[in-house]
Amino acid sequence: MSATGTMPTNPRASLRPLARVEAHKLIRHPAFLAGVGFVLVGIAMFVRAILSSSGSTWNDDGWTVGVAVAVLAILTMVAANLAALRDRREDAVEQHMALPVAQSTRTGALIAATAGPAMVVVLLLAGVVGFAISRVPSLTAADQVHLVERLSAVVMLGTLGVALAGWLPSPFVAPVIGWGLLLVSPGDPPQTWQVLTPWASLRQAELATWHLGYLVGLTVLFGVAALVRSSRSRSLVIAGVIGAVAVIACAAVLFARACPSRTGVCWF
């Protein structure tokens, strides 16, 4: 057909180049760049604490990095949401409907594009973790899981941003939800239900791992919710069931073990 002769036989072959374009757009989005700024400030505060005190621990002083990455995750959600709403915002829906790439492929590419922000977070954290390991002896297993959790929260909230664009197509929804997520952050002492918030930092490595599983399950569920708007397949149903089982199982374990006495004494 084409002058270029590049028609693929696999209709999903466009997913990778689309995801690459969307990832580049995400990591250059002003909202995401603002999040990167927060992380740099958080890292600077942590490094300053390490350098100025010999008794620093990741748990005591690393919270600035954790909070900053949480903010970046929320801003990633806003950026992904705006990217997913782009056709609607720019009145390009009809024009792009006449093109062969399916909407489900475009949604899949947006979800895959959240790997871009995640990679940026990895690069930002790799440096600070390397520095912290050389200076702070107490980077525990739980601390390490928390770092992976923050990373997975970036992907999870990015995917939520894409799903929200399909179900509640307004650019105001994601910022409101993001603000709400900040408000439900665990306080001191934390409430039992707050174990289900993305930012619950459980002190035991095993519980933190269950919380990580809970976040991964949510990511799968949000991904299915985004894709099911334009495509209904058996594999999506299976993925949805797996995500739901993971979320329920991990939440059950967290409820049972993070706050065993139901007296408000929680291990996070």
Partner 1 sequence: MNVTVEFTHLEKRYGRVRALDGVSCEVEPLVTGLLGPNGAGKTTLMRIAATVLAPDRGSVRLLGRDPSSATDRVEIRRRLGYMPQEPGFYRSFTTFAFVDYVAILKEMTDRASRHDEVRRVLTQVGLEDVANRKVKTLSGGMRRRLALAQALLGDPELLVLDEPTAGLDPEQRLRFRELISQLPLRTTVLLSTHQTEDVSALCERVIVLAGGEIRFDGTPPALAVTAGGRVWIADGRDDAALLAWRMGDGRYRHVGNPPPGATLVDPTIDDAYLLMVGDPSAQEGAAA
**Separation in Å, CA 123 to CA 40, 130, 231, 248, 250:** 12, 11, 34, 32, 29
**Beta carbons within 8 Å of 223's beta carbon, 6+ residues apart:** 111, 159, 162, 163, 239, 243
Near partner 1 by CB under 8 A, which window of 65-73, 84-92, 151-159, 224-232?
84-92
Residue 212, CA distances (Å) to 42, 47, 92, 131, 153 in order: 22, 26, 38, 24, 9
Of 14, 15, 22, 18, the C-alpha closest to 81 is 22
Task: Using CB under 8 A, count the residues that bind partner 1.
Answer: 31
Taking CB under 8 A as the criterion, the residue among 40, 51, 92, 126 binding partner 1 is 92
In a 13 Å sphere around the CA of 1, the CA atoms on its Cβ side amount to: 4
- Minimum distance, C-beta of residue 80 to partner 1, in the bound complex (Å): 15
Tell me whether residue 28 or residue 48 sits nearer to partner 1 (CB atom): 28
Closest to 80 in 3D by CA, of 35, 42, 122, 123: 35
From candidates 40, 51, 93, 126, binder to partner 1 by CB under 8 A? 93
Which of 76/197 has CB closer to partner 1?
76
Provide the CB-side half-sphere exposure for 165 (13 A, CA): 28
Least distance (Å) between residue 14 CB and partner 1:
5
Considering the complex, what minimum distance in angstroms separates the CB of residue 162 from partner 1? 17
Among 11, 137, 189, 260, binds partner 1 (CB under 8 A): 11
Start-to-end CA span in the chain (Å): 60
Least gap, CB of 145 to partner 1 (angstroms):
37
How many CB atoms within 10 Å of residue 147?
A: 22
Q: Is 100 in the site for partner 1 (CB under 8 A)?
A: yes
Q: Which stretch binds partner 1 (CB under 8 A): 64-72, 85-93, 133-141, 210-218?
A: 85-93
**Structure-block tokens of residue 236:** 């999506």
Task: Note whether 123 binds partner 1 by CB under 8 A.
Answer: no
Report in angstroms how near the CB of residue 234 gets to partner 1 at its nearest.
17
- Among 53, 95, 191, 235, the residue binding partner 1 under the rule CB under 8 A is 95
- 234 scored as a contact of partner 1 (CB under 8 A): no
CB 29 within 8 A of CB 51: no
Asked if 183 interacts with partner 1 (CB under 8 A), we say no
Does 5 interact with partner 1 (rule: CB under 8 A)?
Answer: yes
Q: Which residues contribute to the site for partner 1 (CB under 8 A)?
A: 1-8, 11, 13-14, 16-18, 21, 86-87, 90-102, 106
